[in-house]
Structure 1
């Protein structure tokens, strides 16, 4: 009996050793090379961006963020070509299996989108991509990201890396029904407005976003709202929520801004609404805007509770 037990224990130790060796081989095989993104990576990154977001959306019954792989590729091409955005990719056996981006133009760094090929998700590649992005951010004043609130993989990952949950968000889409408020004037932003908008952002958030505003002027049609002859609010990309952020002195300024911008755009507005701004949330619903999906703002480092009415973009 004793000899049989000894043989059994020896066989068990051998099996455990074999299992550990298999695990080590698997981990070694799944250890990616992390390197800077290049223009040659755009198509692979775009395909993965599309497939990764499609997979998580389908799993939870939400609409897709990107309608096609081509749309994902267009975003990847733009980000890789933008000097103020740093991109990294993960490679396995010479094949791109994931990417991440860091917006570096302003004091607060914005991370995302981070995506991993669905075929290799859960293998630690996402953590490696996040660690590379945080290493790149270095000693920046702060870092921010926005994640899908229904994604129970990404939120624990970000929290384990040091990010704090700051705001529950809802992606809202639609055109407000109200007519213009005669006490406010809404118009496209001009280059000469950047200084006033920067000051307004600093008063609300404690930091400026000058570079992001300048980029918005170059790529999108940002809007400002004026009251009594001065700028009291702005938004940066009215119909493109990924890059759309806004600040205003008061909720009434923000309402007037959304109404005015909506009236001047053929496409519906889209924005990430902090739902703790309960009155503005109810107003948006009353105006016929629809809630598309829940998201979460997470930050590391500097964060000031907003001192006004605002909504974030994905990169801030």
Structure 2
């Protein structure tokens, strides 16, 4: 287990409902809960990914014999990311959302910077818990390949490239995301691209079935070329692309090629005196649970 992994949380009873770790075999029930909470059924890969990561802790709230709320935190050592916060719509108004978030955050060491991406409806809760806005995360949808001029040094990313990619990613993101990057690569090794300048990594990108990301790059031209390659390599159908609002060049590039903006989330931070990432070099985020 990495140095950033959590201690094993203890189950806590709060006015009847029980907050505890997700148990093996409950993944399908958690997927159903998140599908109801978010209104779509694409959480299978996310749940399986988090359940298999040693530095991820998935908390659930059980009430009336079923899972009613959930939240997960991935602890990268210097930075922790809160995600998949969801409550059964039939249980709204009972305070389950706040309870599960507080339980998920409780084991996080006090020296961690905690990041999250909040909807308009969810942000007031996080404000009460001490989170502040630092940026926006812009969700777009590409319905066709996103064209861009190629750049020198691009190649398929192989497993042998992962140590260099992880080191590059850590310098941009501000923490070691080894577990998340390796998990994404294992899931879709054919959807990965690297860009080198000589022997130095200057960008990389990963593709998920319905999502592009993460994509990190030293220049806008490299980021655009990586997105183009990844958008052409995936299955047919729309692909989500989530871009930090501070990367205005990538947003302008995507809009100029007809990629539609769907919504914006409030990118929030608790702890530290500044954002740990260079959001200008993050062309595309990985997800709302991996950062």
Range of TM-score over shorter length? 0.7 to 0.9
CA root-mean-square deviation: 2.7
Query: 2 CA distance for matches of 1:141 and 1:240?
Result: 31
Q: What's the secondary structure of 1:137's corresponding residue?
A: coil
User: Which shows bigger deviation, 120-129 or 223-232?
Assistant: 223-232
**More helix per residue: 1 or 2?**
1
Q: Say whether the 8 Å CA contact 2:244–2:279 is kept in structure 1.
A: no
Q: Say whether the 8 Å CA contact 1:46–1:74 is kept in structure 2.
A: no
Q: Which structure 2 segments of 5+ residues have no match? A: 1-12
Equivalences for residues 215-294 of structure 1 within 5 A: 215-220=183-188, 221-228=191-198, 230-241=200-211, 244-267=213-236, 268-294=238-264
Q: Which has the larger radius of gyration?
A: 1
Tell me the equivalent position of 2:84.
113
Residue 252 of structure 1 deviates from its aligned partner by: 1.5
Residue 234 of structure 1 deviates from its aligned partner by: 1.3
Question: TM-score if structure 2 supplies the norm length?
Answer: 0.81
Instruction: Find out whether 1:203 has 2:171 as its counterpart.
Output: yes
Tell me the equivalent position of 1:190.
158
Q: What's the secondary structure of 1:122's corresponding residue?
A: coil
Q: Which structure 1 segments of 5+ residues have no match? A: 1-27, 55-65
Q: What's the secondary structure of 2:261's corresponding residue?
A: strand
Query: 1 CA distance for matches of 2:78 and 2:276?
Result: 13
Q: Say whether the 8 Å CA contact 2:246–2:279 is kept in structure 1.
A: no
Q: What's the secondary structure of 2:130's corresponding residue?
A: coil
**More strand per residue: 1 or 2?**
2
Residue 275 of structure 1 deviates from its aligned partner by: 2.4
Relative to structure 1, the CA distance from residue 169 to residue 33 in structure 2 (aligned partners, 3 Å threshold; closer, same or farther) is: same
Out of 1, 6, 26, the position equivalent to 1:41 is 26
Q: Say whether the 8 Å CA contact 1:189–1:217 is kept in structure 2.
A: no
Q: What's the secondary structure of 1:261's corresponding residue?
A: helix
